[in-house]
Structure 1
Amino acid sequence: MLDIPRRVRVHVDALLAPQIDMGVCDADERDTPVGKPTAMSAPHLPKVAGIDSSVPGPAHTAASTAASLPGVPAAPAPPGALIQDRLAGWVSDLTTLHELIERLVRTSTLDDALAELLRAGSALVGARRGMVVLEPADGLGPATTVGLGLAHADLGHIETVPRSATSYGRILDGLPDPGAHPDLLGEAELDPRHREVAARLGYAASYALPLSPEDTGDGASAGAATTGPLAAGRLGAVVWLYDEPAEPVERQRHLIGLYVRYATEHLARLVELRRARVQVATVAEELLPSRLPRVPGVQLAARHRSHPRGGGDWYDALPLPEGALGLAVGSVSGSGPSALAAMGRLRASLRAYAVMEGEDPVAVLSDLELLLRLTEPARTATALFAYAEPGLRKIVLAGAGHTPPLIIGEQRTEFVETSLSAPLGMLSCWEAPSEELSPAPGETVLLYTDGLLRRTGEPMDRAFARLHAAAASVPKADRPDPGAVADHILRTMLPEGLDAPVEGEDVVLLAARFE
């Protein structure tokens, strides 16, 4: 039994009802013999997928076989053979549609879904190349163009054609368009630029459909209330290109219409997800320093990447009185908008405490812990604050459940021994001794969050060893630049880059090189 999703069943049931009303059941009752005919169990060749009430008689019946022999009279078709072929065609179509929709549902990113839409549609309509233009009608984006069998330069050539002269352009502008152009070069009214581009790229026909809940070319309405990007109208348009004059037959149009209707809803969900992630990333960036301060005697560089849903890792660098510098990194438990808001409040509070009593990092973290416990008792956080005097090359720091800093220099690469302490919000009263260190000229002090270690997927002891090895292998030419040091460590620790999605793990690096 086919495992067909509920949404597909609804479309197919709606399709089968009119087929039955057209007389299929009556034909069954009229043609059913008293005994079981042997022709009913005769093997049949596989059919091409197609849901069509007017499927012609199969070519392998006795009638067609006899007709192909001169002088032999044609025999009547076996009773029920037409109905059996129709049912076989419907089952084949449902199987094909089910497999293509399953592949589409497995896509989790917008780019993958658009590529899968083009591949599946190409197989259904029999075209080798295609292009999908995503352009939500509400104007909120994202806007993109993806091609199948078309290079980036080919897409550029197509975009030089006046928008009103192309099928996808008329669809996006809400203008009427037949969708199918079986012979583009033979159309007398074809725009000269369009004719030139079609001849250069070697396509002679096109078939376009809107990515819209209203109509997908199969003559049926989506019949469901739309929300999100689809509420404003069309999401975009998709067009397939034929190398020779051609157009899809009625069965192909119906199948591609059903598929595109479902694909449009899936794309709308991914568009909404993309928009939410962009908004979260924008908020996260706004909550962090827009630029690092310039303080004599020290060079700063930072690298940061939030989880797509929004994480609570943060960093800060602020100038303090008498040429001092405050450096901080931290992580708030949880993810999403609530974690972002908590991170913003915690960072703002730490800046205030650092200005008032920054020379005592223990007092700064004690005040921060008290604030967190009183205002958000259900949340915990880790933090590290360092009070640096670049002129004296002196750093006093304290950490609350945070990973130890790393000193990178010509003569040494080692972790700073900090006292073990609990994260903020876990004890009734937090306090831990501070540590003091003196970096040598040219050494870089690296502060980071544990997301850098967790993204490796290794146990923490191996991740720490991997971080130490990455820092020790920084090329000599990169050591004078703290940004180059941070980039080398990231490339070594995370070969797939910061864009590789890892559930719930942010990455923060803050590098300070002392002159």
Structure 2
Amino acid sequence: MTAPHLPKVAGIDSTVPPPAHTVPPGPAAPYAQAAPGALIQDRLAGWVSDLTTLHELTERLSRTSTLDGALDELLRAGAALVGARRGLVVLEPADGRGPDTTVGLGLARADLGHLETVPRAATAFGRLLDATAATAATAADAPGPAVTEIVQPDLFADDTLDPRHREVAVRLGYAASYALPLVTDAAGRVGAAAWLYDEPAEPAERRRHLIGLYVRHATEHLARLVELDRARTTEATLRAELLPPRLPRVAGVQLAARHHTGPRGGGDWFDALPLPDAALGLAVGSVTGCGPSAVAAMGRLRASLRAYAVMEGEDPVAVLSDLELLLRLTEPARSATALFAYCEPALRKIVLAGAGHSPPLIVGERRTEFVETSLSAPLGMLACWEAPSVEMRPEPGETLLLYTDGLLHRTGEAMDRAFAKLHAAAVSVPKAARDDPGAIADHVLRTVLPEGLDAPDGCDSEEDVVLLAARFE
């Protein structure tokens, strides 16, 4: 296995491994004794070098904005400080809310799997995790000294080493380890980190002091990223629960949807619901704002539209009028765009109405064109909303594409050019893909956004993307 090349930082040469054994220096000759001033200068130079090292490493860590990036940086910086080539960090917050993960440096996934077969109590990081948990549980009644580190300078010289641990160490080729807990005063235990040496060795006292200071700062940073990761996961779960978990199966039509949420967490949504008399309702929309409040408003708006669609879905204008009235009465400070289509697949008939929304696109072998809809204001912008509906009849094999403005905004171009780009992408759909609405949606997304859905810099590019495709048989 090829070991990763660790970065070189001030004061620590990460390319030079520590000596396997430290030989105590002999007594200095009387004539070789340095002057006191020179000793002080050497010590000050060492302190400056150490402070420079910590500053560079902590600055690099502070620039990480994701949990995975911070864990990787912690392992690399720690390896440079203690003079090791490999290591692993086990993230296991004490409150049990996760996320629980193990990340390795210079260790493949199979290597981490081998380490997981070692009994927890036989590993240094496992003992640290259990010790910090036990300390936290008994601190109120009988506080004791906290475990600050576990040094194993020569694993194979330890007669008490677990046989499975010895077997894994031989297999992976490490002979010593140095482990530290990841603990903060506010969050408690966050996890544990361990670095592995290829030969018997241990970090010198100076290196231990430096890694202790660095890990203290790194753990605070990790704790903040853990909370941020939990918040993002909760918001993503909530957003997913507010959107259809699956698309319905309706005779005469095939459905596919693609949805991507931007970094700010916007309020774009889609829906497809069976209606009485074998009809189908299709809807897309977007609410203003971003973050949890926009997601909650999106959920309320979508649920309300479903109710209105069941009651009077054959009249899309009435559905959007009721939705506009509800929005104006319950959330007067918010506006939204929406498009609702009432489909009768057996008759291949569609009646649709839009409120400030981009026109849908019909894609077929003989035509690829935008559906002409009347101009109208978004919901909540006027005292009373109303716009005429549009009726169309797709040919067999044609696909109706409904989308949100985020797809156009992410192109980074003016709206007229974005519409032209979307139309060109629909025209270029390969003939072999026209029978599958999912393949059509994927082709359009790849063509309109060749760099993918990951948002580049710029606020406009961070909007959500929704694409709903309905192919009529």
Give the TM-score range, shorter chain.
0.7 to 0.9
Matches within 5 A, 1:385-404: 385-404=340-359
Q: TM-score, normalised by structure 1?
A: 0.80
In the alignment, is residue 148 of structure 1 matched against residue 119 of structure 2? no
Equivalent of 2:176, from 205, 209, 217? 205
The equivalent residue for 1:171 is 128
The structure-2 alpha-carbon separation of the partners of 1:500 and 1:48, relative to structure 1 and needing over 3 Å to count, comes to closer
Matches within 5 A, 1:448-487: 448-487=403-442
Equivalent of 1:382, from 337, 351, 354? 337
Deviations 1:259-286 (A, max 9, x none): 1111111111111111111111111111
1:284/1:306 contact within 8 Å kept: no
In the alignment, is residue 508 of structure 1 matched against residue 463 of structure 2? no
Deviations 1:417-476 (A, max 9, x none): 222221111112222222222111001101011112222333333332222222222222
In the alignment, is residue 344 of structure 1 matched against residue 344 of structure 2? no
- Give the counterpart letter for 2:417 in structure 1: R
Distance across 2 between alignment mates of 1:94 and 1:357: 71
Matches within 5 A, 1:241-260: 241-260=196-215
2:262/2:455 contact within 8 Å kept: no
Equivalent of 1:311, from 266, 272, 278? 266
Distance across 2 between alignment mates of 1:304 and 1:481: 17
The structure-2 alpha-carbon separation of the partners of 1:90 and 1:177, relative to structure 1 and needing over 3 Å to count, comes to closer
1:204/1:241 contact within 8 Å kept: yes
The structure-2 alpha-carbon separation of the partners of 1:501 and 1:260, relative to structure 1 and needing over 3 Å to count, comes to farther
Distance across 2 between alignment mates of 1:171 and 1:350: 54
Equivalent of 1:434, from 366, 389, 404? 389
The structure-2 alpha-carbon separation of the partners of 1:48 and 1:197, relative to structure 1 and needing over 3 Å to count, comes to closer
C-alpha displacement of 1:415:
1.6
* Partner SS state of residue 185, structure 1: helix
- Give the counterpart letter for 1:393 in structure 2: R
1:277/1:309 contact within 8 Å kept: no
Which region of structure 1 is more displaced relative to structure 2, 253-262 or 485-494?
Answer: 485-494
The structure-2 alpha-carbon separation of the partners of 1:464 and 1:371, relative to structure 1 and needing over 3 Å to count, comes to same
Distance across 1 between alignment mates of 2:81 and 2:161: 26
The equivalent residue for 1:134 is 91
Distance across 1 between alignment mates of 2:236 and 2:11: 51
Q: Which has the higher contact order (CA 8 A, sep 6+)?
A: 2
Distance across 2 between alignment mates of 1:86 and 1:362: 81
Equivalent of 2:242, from 287, 291, 298? 287
C-alpha displacement of 1:305:
2.4
Distance across 1 between alignment mates of 2:11 and 2:334: 62
C-alpha displacement of 1:76:
5.7
Distance across 2 between alignment mates of 1:447 and 1:75: 84
C-alpha displacement of 1:342:
1.1
C-alpha displacement of 1:488:
2.3
Which region of structure 1 is more displaced relative to structure 2, 483-492 or 325-334?
Answer: 483-492
C-alpha displacement of 1:313:
0.8
* Partner SS state of residue 470, structure 1: helix
Distance across 2 between alignment mates of 1:177 and 1:493: 54
Distance across 1 between alignment mates of 2:245 and 2:421: 30
- Give the counterpart letter for 1:435 in structure 2: V
Matches within 5 A, 1:37-436: 74=31, 77-174=34-131, 179-213=150-184, 225-226=185-186, 230=187, 233-436=188-391
Distance across 2 between alignment mates of 1:270 and 1:460: 37
- Give the counterpart letter for 1:192 in structure 2: P
1:280/1:308 contact within 8 Å kept: no
- Give the counterpart letter for 1:179 in structure 2: I
* Partner SS state of residue 237, structure 2: helix
The equivalent residue for 1:217 is none
C-alpha displacement of 1:324:
1.6
* Partner SS state of residue 335, structure 1: coil
The structure-2 alpha-carbon separation of the partners of 1:309 and 1:271, relative to structure 1 and needing over 3 Å to count, comes to farther
Distance across 2 between alignment mates of 1:418 and 1:209: 64
* Partner SS state of residue 462, structure 1: helix
- Give the counterpart letter for 2:177 in structure 1: S
C-alpha displacement of 1:371:
1.4
Distance across 2 between alignment mates of 1:422 and 1:446: 21
Instruction: Give the aligned CA root-mean-square deviation in angstroms.
Output: 2.1
The equivalent residue for 2:18 is none
* Partner SS state of residue 212, structure 1: strand
The equivalent residue for 2:25 is none
The structure-2 alpha-carbon separation of the partners of 1:47 and 1:369, relative to structure 1 and needing over 3 Å to count, comes to closer
- Give the counterpart letter for 2:463 in structure 1: E
The structure-2 alpha-carbon separation of the partners of 1:337 and 1:410, relative to structure 1 and needing over 3 Å to count, comes to same
The structure-2 alpha-carbon separation of the partners of 1:425 and 1:177, relative to structure 1 and needing over 3 Å to count, comes to closer
The structure-2 alpha-carbon separation of the partners of 1:316 and 1:170, relative to structure 1 and needing over 3 Å to count, comes to same
* Partner SS state of residue 273, structure 2: strand
- Give the counterpart letter for 2:99 in structure 1: P
The structure-2 alpha-carbon separation of the partners of 1:77 and 1:486, relative to structure 1 and needing over 3 Å to count, comes to same
- Give the counterpart letter for 1:296 in structure 2: A
Deviations 1:45-98 (A, max 9, x none): x9769xxxxxxxxxxxxxx8xx6xxxxx82663452222222221111111101
Distance across 1 between alignment mates of 2:232 and 2:12: 42
C-alpha displacement of 1:141:
1.1
Distance across 2 between alignment mates of 1:276 and 1:367: 34
The equivalent residue for 2:137 is none
Higher Cα radius of gyration: 1
The equivalent residue for 1:39 is none
Q: How many residues align?
A: 433
* Partner SS state of residue 380, structure 2: coil
The structure-2 alpha-carbon separation of the partners of 1:250 and 1:438, relative to structure 1 and needing over 3 Å to count, comes to same
Distance across 2 between alignment mates of 1:91 and 1:159: 40
Deviations 1:13-60 (A, max 9, x none): xxxxxxxxxxxxxxxxxxxxxxxxxxxxxxxxx9769xxxxxxxxxxx
* Partner SS state of residue 377, structure 1: coil
Q: TM-score, normalised by structure 2?
A: 0.87
C-alpha displacement of 1:159:
1.4
